[in-house]
Amino acid sequence: MTPHKYWRLLFQDNNGGDTIEASEIIFSTHPNSLNLLPTNSNFSGVMPAKNNEKVFEFSTPFAVGAYSFKAQGANAPKAWRFEYSDNNADWFLAHVEYAQTRWQTSETRHFEVALFELNLTINASIAVPFLLLFIHDLNGELILKKDVPNGTESVLMPNDKAVCVTVMQACGDRWQAGRYYKSGALVLPKNPTETPFYYRNRHGGISNLLEPTWQTNPEVFTPDSGCLWEVVERLNQPITQSPLVPKRKVA
């Protein structure tokens, strides 16, 4: 275990309240260790906007192997990252949590500083650069939902418990009447259940006021006023695999 000078907790989400609050924050060198490390003990901040984070940081050079804090109810942290740095500029992930829910009154939870990696091969679409990833525990509770790019090979997890993984294509833009579409634009029909295909515009133009009759033969184009659509690929059904077990990631 290597000592690092700077450490920080980046709180990203709570359990539905207006603020994020944690008290009696304690760091130690090892799990279940009595060797406690000095730090400020409380954190409170306004609930961050989407894609923002609330930061709790401290700078004392030591090795952290575990930490704990007390929280409760809707304002308890739900998702956060624990990071370290040696220069206060380049930060590295030491631990991550996604779904810490159902906090009881003044409950204390303990976390080991460790990373686990769920190895995946996600490469299921040529029309959509990003796919939707859902990870549930085996009781059905959602742990993680995020957009992942094609070619994703691993996802960081908080522990080595078995999970259920579902991958599905994002539906993308639905066709609209009287809209300018540039060459290369991708759309789905208004009813992708009836016509589950992605279409690419062959040249720029304005679509018709009435939705075209979509051709599903890849060799046949769909005329649409100033646009001309070609079949790219079928909208695939979600793929689910279970159980998958994360492996401990060696730093």
* H, E, C per residue of 45-97: EECCCCCCCEEEEEEEEECCCEEEEEECHHHCEEEEEEEEECCCCCCEEEEEE
Q: In this structure, how many other beta carbons lie within 10 angstroms of the beta carbon of residue 89?
A: 7
Predicted model pTM: 0.72
Structure tokens at 191: 């009813």
- In whole angstroms, give the CA distance from residue 186 to residue 166: 24
The answer on pLDDT for 114 being more than 80 is yes
Q: Are residues 31 and 140 in the same domain?
A: no
175: in domain: no
Q: Are residues 127 and 245 in the same domain?
A: yes
Q: Are residues 40 and 100 in the same domain?
A: yes
186: in domain: yes
Residue 243, preceding peptide bond in cis (omega within 30° of 0) = yes
Q: Are residues 109 and 122 in the same domain?
A: no
Q: Are residues 160 and 92 in the same domain?
A: no
* The residue count for the chain: 251
Q: Are residues 207 and 109 in the same domain?
A: no
Q: Are residues 9 and 132 in the same domain?
A: no
Q: Are residues 22 and 85 in the same domain?
A: yes
Q: Are residues 53 and 125 in the same domain?
A: no
Q: How many domains does the chain have?
A: 3
b/e sequence 186-195, b meaning 16+ C-beta within 10 Å: bbbbeebeeb
Task: Please give the average per-residue pLDDT across 184-213, as a whole number.
Answer: 93
- In whole angstroms, give the CA distance from residue 107 to residue 158: 19
9: in domain: yes
Q: Are residues 37 and 87 in the same domain?
A: yes
Task: Please give the average per-residue pLDDT across 179-203, as a whole number.
Answer: 93
The answer on pLDDT for 138 being more than 70 is yes
Average pLDDT over the chain reads: 88
Nearest to 180 by CA among 234, 225, 236, 149: 225
Task: Please give the average per-residue pLDDT across 147-163, as a whole number.
Answer: 86
SS3 38: coil
54: in domain: yes
**Could you tell me if 53 and 72 are in contact, meaning their C-beta atoms sit under 8 angstroms apart?**
no
Task: Please give the average per-residue pLDDT across 189-201, as a whole number.
Answer: 92
Span 42-93, pLDDT tens digits: 888 888 877 788 888 887 778 889 999 999 999 999 999 999 999 989 999 9
Span 23-32, pLDDT tens digits: 999 888 888 7
Q: Are residues 121 and 243 in the same domain?
A: yes
Structure tokens at 55: 């930061």
Structure tokens at 208: 């018709």
79: in domain: yes
Which of 74, 95, 113 corresponds to the end of one domain?
A: 113
Which of 66, 86, 113 corresponds to the end of one domain?
A: 113
62: in domain: yes
Which of 68, 94, 113 corresponds to the end of one domain?
A: 113
137: in domain: yes
CA dist list (Å): 79 to 48, 61, 195, 209: 12, 25, 38, 46
Burial class (CB in 10 A: 0-12, 13-18, 19+), 182: exposed
Supply the range of the domain harboring residue 160.
117-169+237-249
Q: Are residues 137 and 241 in the same domain?
A: yes
143: in domain: yes
The answer on pLDDT for 145 being more than 90 is no
Residue 6, beta-bridge partner list? 59, 85
Which pLDDT band, with edges at 50, 70 and 90, does 195 fall under? very high
